[in-house]
Structure 1
């Protein structure tokens, strides 16, 4: 018999629910939506801010609706299967606020901060909420689960034991410092969010043509490399205005200029690693950003001390992390 677990990754603006075989991390089925924590919290506030329905109950109702959809999709009755939720569900606008874990944070997840919510008559699932990790000046929610899962999947004793920085690109990129099997520090870079702000809400929006690109032309890659190198030699506040003058003076067309902007921002993020030559670097990127981050690291001459993790493994890391944390919490999974 299989040990089933419902794994939910509930972010600020997105929702993903998976049925998992925890014995081998096999994905049985999943559903996704844009009903993130922010929208769900807003919907709860709109019905009376708890006067009609307590917040936890409102979130349970939303979860139940998604669970029913997943049950229909996989043709399996899911009653009684526990659910583990990572991401923003444990935040102040989530299902129930859970305190952050602190540093040093073991990479096996043994000191993860969690909260159990027991099953109810109309919601036959025990819930484990996973909180994030904090430092004095920074926080992360979700990446710690991904990190725990990634290191559980890999035979990376040398990665966890040595001085290593794991780089997780994204809207808010994370650089996570690991030493002696523990997270000892991390930093957040607003790379993706700043790109979005520049591309849609600044004077630069008319100088670029942002689009979802799966492949890049040689000219676009050259523009990206130009941006990376200029980020290393000048102030980012000055370099950003060059996106406008590139288009104004006909130096780059809009698609190429988009890659130039991306190069400026990714380069500004990664150049901080040049001052830390004693640390090994681990690039943990999905398909959408892998090529650009890899190219930026080559341009900044960081490749010799960089290991790259396959995007397939990155996709499986959240599942593995949720399973690991649940096992650490001694949750009994139904067979």
Structure 2
């Protein structure tokens, strides 16, 4: 196997993804469920990175490892600064380097973005936005980036103007995997009709979203509710409440959903049911394109 010229890393709350880069593009791609929420502290990050990428790093020289995502947040590997909105997604040559034990590593963590009103921060999505803008530099509209903490990002004139954050992904994971609903909710599967009915209910009456959760448990006990239907309704209730709160972001706007297959499909399906002409863009592709752009800006 060839050694990487440099390594691009998207290190979020849930997963660690990396690409070993050669002269003409990626020569290897790897992923592990070693996101920041799975690691106990800063001392765990270097071993996690080396376990996934150690054999890609040349033994006789330093290799740049360019990282975006929650790894640079408070409670991550090392806290990287934030850049104030409005601004372009990526600044030229801006990064923070944590201390490492392995002399082969030249680590560079990209900064996140923040806004004062309403108070909001993000990390990783700025790199995905930059990657999307490489392919569509004149875009003016909304980027919806589903994830553990979903972002709705307003882009205009090549800048991030503002954004909203929702903890919908984290709430869904907690309710489905750790709450009383775990006993009656499937781990996988999707019923589109049940999902869209719940989305519609939550959008029309978002103040009643919380009261719609426990009936998923009660109906399973009393009437044998299908666990896949329960999972789909849970997702729909949470996502519908988010769409109700984010209505001014997507109503009448050009909307692109950037993310992985399952979550991006759920958001796109819910928005299309509201009459929005949604476009989709692969989240991993956007992250890699953004990291390549960041690497170019450092040259």
> TM bucket by the smaller chain?
0.7 to 0.9
Distance 1:250 1:180 in 2: 54
Distance 1:252 1:112 in 2: 54
Distance 1:178 1:272 in 2: 19
Distance 1:127 1:223, change over 3 A: same
Q: 2:230 matched to which residue of 1?
A: 257
Judge conservation of contact 2:4–2:56 (CA < 8 Å) in 1. no
Distance 1:294 1:140, change over 3 A: same
Q: 1:83 matched to which residue of 2?
A: 65
Q: Deviations over 1:57-89 (max 9, x none)?
A: x85565455442335xxxx76833322111233
Shift of 1:300: 2.0
Distance 1:278 1:328 in 2: 34
Judge conservation of contact 1:246–1:257 (CA < 8 Å) in 2. no
Larger Rg: 1 or 2? 1
Q: 1:51 matched to which residue of 2?
A: none
Matching of residue 225 in structure 1 with residue 205 in structure 2:
no
Q: 1:293 matched to which residue of 2?
A: 267
Q: Deviations over 1:253-299 (max 9, x none)?
A: 22212111111111222233433534321111321223322221122
Aligned-partner SS, 2:241: helix
CA RMSD of aligned residues (A): 3.0
Distance 2:67 2:130 in 1: 15
Distance 1:39 1:253 in 2: 30
Distance 1:14 1:41 in 2: 14
Q: 2:287 matched to which residue of 1?
A: 318
Shift of 1:167: 0.5
Q: 1:328 matched to which residue of 2?
A: 297
Aligned-partner SS, 1:114: coil
Q: 2:132 matched to which residue of 1?
A: 150
Matching of residue 175 in structure 1 with residue 152 in structure 2:
yes
Judge conservation of contact 2:115–2:121 (CA < 8 Å) in 1. yes
Distance 1:62 1:237, change over 3 A: closer
Moved more, 281-290 or 269-278: 269-278
Distance 1:135 1:111, change over 3 A: farther
Matching of residue 135 in structure 1 with residue 109 in structure 2:
no
Q: Which runs of 5+ in 2 are unaligned?
A: none
Judge conservation of contact 2:257–2:279 (CA < 8 Å) in 1. yes
Judge conservation of contact 2:133–2:158 (CA < 8 Å) in 1. no
Matching of residue 96 in structure 1 with residue 96 in structure 2:
no
Q: 1:307 matched to which residue of 2?
A: 279
Judge conservation of contact 2:72–2:78 (CA < 8 Å) in 1. yes
